[in-house]
Chains A and B, each alone.
Chain A
């Protein structure tokens, strides 16, 4: 048998085998879904690119395969929580799937809102898809597990909040020469806060001098939305060495320096002043910017650099319909104070925010079995690559090796590679069941700091005291 013939026969055999495997997989979904014909599943999630992909692609695919209809409601971040919590709190059972952002999962677990997927699959082996494997997820799935390893949410998006910069500006010889002349340094992505501030100042001045709509940095500094508070506690303060919002859970949830916390520590105050200084070098819309508008500002080419949520990296770097900086985006770790990287690599703290979420199954759902099938469906390796291309999110280890994902990674300046290799340096929100409560208690003071009504130092002192008061009222702090 000649080589070509062997190759042909092998290819044919592989094709037949794969076809048979796919047919077998399809058979499982059809058979498992038989008892649930006529069921309509309802889910609620935030309107983000990954969620839109679930609604527009995965839900119809699942319906075609199984006959189970899936309605995914995509709405604003606030509305999503409002609807999900009310539904689970009152036990109405409207939703069969809810989006669980990593920072809220501890509150949901504390209230027993969620179904243990691992346990449910063990109890119902007939529902276990051969192509679904909990071990296929990246370590991000650990945020959704209890102490016994039970999984309470199928990871559907995971990002790191990265430092994006404009490669066209950073590599422009004229800009480089002007920067060198002005600062005495070579223009390169910042690794420290001082370098970042110097670059920000340079480009803001450059924009003014050249009458361009260009500023030195983005800033997520909304004066009435929690996005600004998140930017400070989750993205800026850690780079100054203040972790977990400055609250010491092991020390009776202390927040003030007086009681052993770090919310109003000198490092926290330095971080806040740096944040405010960068805000002043950012475009004017920054005081109305949440995470969404920050991405839009960067995509519009109005900022030379910025700390941007990774979920936006793909469209900023590659979608010409939405972005003016396609092909001109570089990715790096956020700027840090001296010694922070070594501290984090040594296992203490983190350099930025590991954001993401999962789809969970409320205990109040009236269609748990059918919903479990859908959750398994979106957790399979086979649906991940296209989802990653559409939403720049990766939750399964195998997705990194997909050729299309690797090609996109190059366009994104190595964002996926950073997610894989440096993801361990980032962390999600601290495991606090009182997340929204403390946030809403201290955020009004933070907004007053942003408007200049309260001085940063005094404001952080007040925030730390208010946080302790709230924790006392909630019963966490004795």
Chain B
């Protein structure tokens, strides 16, 4: 009984912080989402409007479009980060000259604030002063202008995200690979298994939980990307990179549409949970059942 009480006492600070910064804000956002509230309207007070905001979300073409480009962004960014991150993790498992240096350099983007990442990429991609359009023009005669081409802007935002967040995937997978026991690999080699067979039947199943955890983290992060993209393209050209995070930002802050913005946030949270659940059900649950 006493140890139970002590346990709760020790947990109390964490629970308090979680409640203050997680639970209460979420409840507040949920509460606001059922109101019409724009402080710069004729009536600046909050007015309860039932589920009108949610009804509007469903028929909001701009929101649906932003959800579509976000899905594409998340897919290309997360899959690329996973593939490149795994390749780099495998590379860093081996010894080579300058390994420590490269690993440090490779990790640097991770410690940069997203707003800085966006600024740096903006400088690098601005026609006339940016190194990337300059090189692409010199080498391939390709005229990169992310203020003009929707496809180019989309691709650059994906590459920027890959550059920024692949190190996180690499570090997670290095941790997973390091913890693998050597026995199954040795036995497989003795049995004559090839590299691909070893990867597919041994490595991948064993690091699956780490991959899933990493994918969940990156998926949730990518779904709420704001700063980098806002700095790089402002959501443009047109609405080509107006991802849901950017869309919510523009609704809530400049437009001060607090009620509707909160409703969109709740819907995006719901979508994130559903996507993660589907991933879990599709990839983890069947394995557990078999086991």
Residues of A within 8 A of B (CB): 78, 81-82, 85, 89, 107, 110-111, 213, 222-226, 283-288, 293, 302, 433-434, 436-437, 439-441, 444, 447-448, 450-451, 453, 473-476
Contacts and interface: CB of A to CB of B under 8 A. Distances in A.
A447 B127 contact: no
B245 to A, nearest CB: 14
Contacts of A110: 40
A278 B17 CA distance: 55
A358 to B, nearest CB: 19
B190 interface: no
Given A111-B39, A440-B250, A450 B237 contact: yes
- Dominant secondary structure at the B interface: loop
A448 B150 CA distance: 11
A437 B237 contact: no
B129 interface: yes
B59 interface: no
Contacts of A293: 126
A440 B40 contact: no
Contact of A285 (B43, B127, B234): B127
- Give the size range of B's interface with the partner: 35 or more
A475 B41 contact: yes
A434 B256 CA distance: 10
A474 B41 contact: yes
B165 to A, nearest CB: 22
A441 B255 contact: yes
Given A283-B128, A287-B148, A476-B42, A447 B254 contact: no
A451 B237 contact: yes
Given A286-B147, A437-B41, 18 more contacts: A78-B254, A81-B253, A82-B253, A213-B128, A224-B236, A224-B241, A224-B242, A288-B126, A288-B127, A302-B128, A434-B40, A437-B255, A440-B255, A448-B239, A453-B238, A474-B38, A475-B41, A475-B43
A439 B239 contact: no
Contacts of B233: 223-224
Contacts of B197: none
Interface string B221-258: 00000000010011111111110000000110111110
Contact of A288 (B43, B44, B146, B239): B146
A177 B255 CA distance: 51
A293 B237 CA distance: 17
A283 B255 CA distance: 31
A220 to B, nearest CB: 12
A93 B282 CA distance: 50
A25 to B, nearest CB: 41
A176 B272 CA distance: 63
A285 B126 contact: yes
B69 to A, nearest CB: 13
Contacts of B237: 223-224, 287, 447, 450-451
Given A222-B147, A224-B234, A225-B234, A285 B239 contact: no
Interface in B38-81: 38-44, 62
A433 B255 contact: no
Contacts of A89: 39
Instruction: Tell which of A85, A283, A439 has the most Cβ of chain B within 10 Å.
Output: A85
Contacts of B256: 85, 436-437
A279 to B, nearest CB: 10
Contacts of B251: 440
